[in-house]
Chains A and B, each alone.
Chain A
């Protein structure tokens, strides 16, 4: 008699058909760090070849000349000193910008008037280049850190606030209802539900804000580093240009780029790895 249900159909495939190791070339290519390093090496090679071919150190020094100048600058302590001056001001402006953005988005998250205030201010002020405020800042705050921090604040606040606000708005209705279900206080609701749920947008705002702050600071230092007596990297670049020390100019620019890369991959990259990717909120 034939059974209606046939059990135990042979389904045991050999193990190597089911699971195979990924070839090493594909594993390397899958690593974002390896890919980025390859891009950096390629750009460095193009720079060096072009510099040698042009053979005009006043216009475009080679990568090796730049690295030598940078090495000397680092050893003499001049570049680290300039970097420290720039970073100190930068962090103060960045921190203040984030604080103001936090207050504004907090208002926007809790009242409709606050939301209109933020949206209007952002629409008005975000397109205004921070550097255009520098002349005004110099009149208000004088030739010093005050002016720099003011323009940095302007460079950071709007982009961070805008991203955080749009992140809050995109938190799903279900998650909002879940959060309200637990009887959280208003600050508890904002910090334990809205902020983590909007974290992808918040982090991208912080990243863009960092880049805006960095470029604004270097530009502002180019303008008046001299007057304040102790300029940062921007002033270093400007001063060396005046003295036609072009490899030093390139070394200064390279330092700006290097710090940007390091912060992007070490600080923000690590934060992304530990939060968004772990939570499945961002693709690898």
Chain B
């Protein structure tokens, strides 16, 4: 595969140290995300999927291997890789919805104030938050906060949008609705997504490609490159791969 366009993760080993020991989070993980992919990192807790996302975000340096985005090696966090977190406190409480969305555009110097305001309004419209535009985050529901965070990430038009279980803290009704909305937004923007989840159904609903990981240490179990239209059968197959004894293989 071509390593220049998109995100290339090659043989990445990640370690983090607790007070007593050094834990290997992932061991020689490789994958490639092409532009326009909705790439899912799926696995049980402890498989290092969030650590991988943090490494792509530039918050964690690999002990071994390389991470490159569009041919440039990742060394530090940057606005070309916008993050959406699971936690509701990811919005800046001292800024309104619109100011929150504008902040990265201005802070990174990527857009002028006028452009940033226009783009913020456009993305507020896309996530249906016009009525909350001038509200402060503490007055919003969990789902609305996550919508703001997604709008903030997408409005930057990053090379890749990194999403760390963004819907995990939502109730199941809101979660389903947010998944549909995210797919709708992707249809409009065709942005590249790297999405971490531990939910099989969420993975098959959102992704077009899935990297299945196993735990302790995190390793690639399977790469599923054909997700669309396989529905429940694929879910069962993934379930078997994660928990069954027989080793499956993928096309």
Contacts and interface: CB of A to CB of B under 8 A. Distances in A.
A201 to B, nearest CB: 14
A88 interface: no
Contacts of A188: 107
A268 to B, nearest CB: 17
A108 B60 CA distance: 23
Contact of B79 (A181, A192, A193, A280): A181
B67 to A, nearest CB: 16
B137 A192 contact: no
A279 B107 CA distance: 20
A180 to B, nearest CB: 4
B94 A279 contact: yes
B23 interface: no
B156 to A, nearest CB: 9
Contacts of B78: 181, 183
B104 A182 contact: yes
Interface residues of B, number: 24
Contacts of B104: 181-182
B141 interface: no
Interface string B121-145: 0000000000000001111000000
Contact of A183 (B92, B93, B107): B107
Contacts of A182: 79, 103-104, 107-108
A17 to B, nearest CB: 25
A181 B108 CA distance: 9
Interface in B82-138: 82-83, 85, 87, 89-90, 92-94, 103-104, 107-108, 136-138
Interface in A162-176: 172, 174-175
B159 to A, nearest CB: 13
A181 B139 contact: no
Interface string A196-236: 11010000000000000000000000000000000000000
A278 B138 CA distance: 9
Contacts of A197: 92-94
A196 B94 contact: yes
B57 interface: yes
A281 interface: yes
Nearest to A175: B89
A280 B107 contact: no
A172 B87 contact: yes
A175 to B, nearest CB: 6
A271 interface: no
A26 B89 CA distance: 33
A174 B90 contact: yes
B77 interface: yes
Given A181-B79, A183-B107, A280 B85 contact: no
A184 B109 CA distance: 10
A50 B235 CA distance: 81
Contacts of B85: 174, 177-178
A64 interface: no
A65 B59 CA distance: 68
B83 A181 contact: yes
Given A182-B103, A182-B104, A275-B94, A280 B136 contact: yes
Interface in A238-275: 275
Contacts of B81: 181
Given A177-B77, A183-B108, A280 B93 contact: yes
Given A177-B59, A279-B138, A183 B79 contact: yes
B94 A199 contact: yes
Interface in B227-251: none
A161 B57 CA distance: 32
A192 B92 CA distance: 10
Contacts of A278: 136
Nearest to B104: A182
A25 B107 CA distance: 48
A188 B87 CA distance: 23
B49 to A, nearest CB: 16
Nearest to A172: B89
A91 to B, nearest CB: 27
A92 to B, nearest CB: 30
Contacts of A181: 57, 77-79, 81-83, 104
A188 B108 CA distance: 11
Given A175-B92, A183-B107, A280 B138 contact: yes
9 contacts: A175-B90, A181-B81, A181-B82, A182-B104, A183-B79, A196-B92, A279-B93, A279-B94, A280-B137
Interface of A: 172, 174-175, 177-178, 180-184, 188, 192-193, 196-197, 199, 275, 278-281
The list of the 7 closest CB pairs from A to B, nearest first, reads A280-B138, A182-B107, A174-B87, A180-B77, A196-B94, A279-B93, A182-B104
Given A175-B89, A197-B93, 11 more contacts: A172-B87, A178-B92, A181-B81, A181-B82, A182-B103, A182-B104, A183-B108, A188-B107, A196-B94, A197-B92, A281-B94
